[in-house]
Every structure is written in structure tokens, then in C-alpha cells.
Amino acid sequence: MEKGLFNISLFIGALMLAVGIFKNSLLLTAMALILAIVAQHLYHKKYPKRNRSFKELLAEQKSNRE
């Protein structure tokens, strides 16, 4: 469900941004930017940023190869 909501909000936001730019509509452009923020929030909710050290990245890469 979240993946579909993310994809829909991203598509509608991009479409609204394009229409808002071509029609010189500040309201559509602002709404598109708000939808982009919502899409970013949904993405980071599903895939949180993980801070790892270089050693941890190498260990993970090595374990994936085996």
C-alpha cells in the first residue's frame, strides 16, 4: 500500500509541477512541491537512512559475496 501511495504521489507531483510551470500557476507548483515532500517522507519512512562505517560496509559486502 505504501509503495503504491509513494508512486502515485510522485507521479501526481511531477505532473502537477509540469502543468504548473507551463500554465504559470503558482498554486499548482506549490502543491506539487508539497506532494514531493510527502513522497520523500514516505520513502524515508520505508527506507530509513543507515549510517555505517567503512569497515561495516566492507564486512557486509564480503558476506554478500559468500
The model carries a pTM of: 0.62
Res 22: pLDDT: 93
Res 5: pLDDT: 81
Per-residue pLDDT of the chain (66 residues; tens, 9 = 90+): 677 888 888 888 899 999 999 999 999 999 999 988 888 888 888 878 777 788 888 888 888 887
Distance CA 65, CA 39 (A): 33
Res 8: pLDDT: 85
Q: How many CB atoms lie within 10 A of CB 16?
A: 21
DSSP line for 3-63: HHHHHHHHHHHHHHHHHHHHTT-HHHHHHHHHHHHHHHHHHHHHS------HHHHHHHHHH
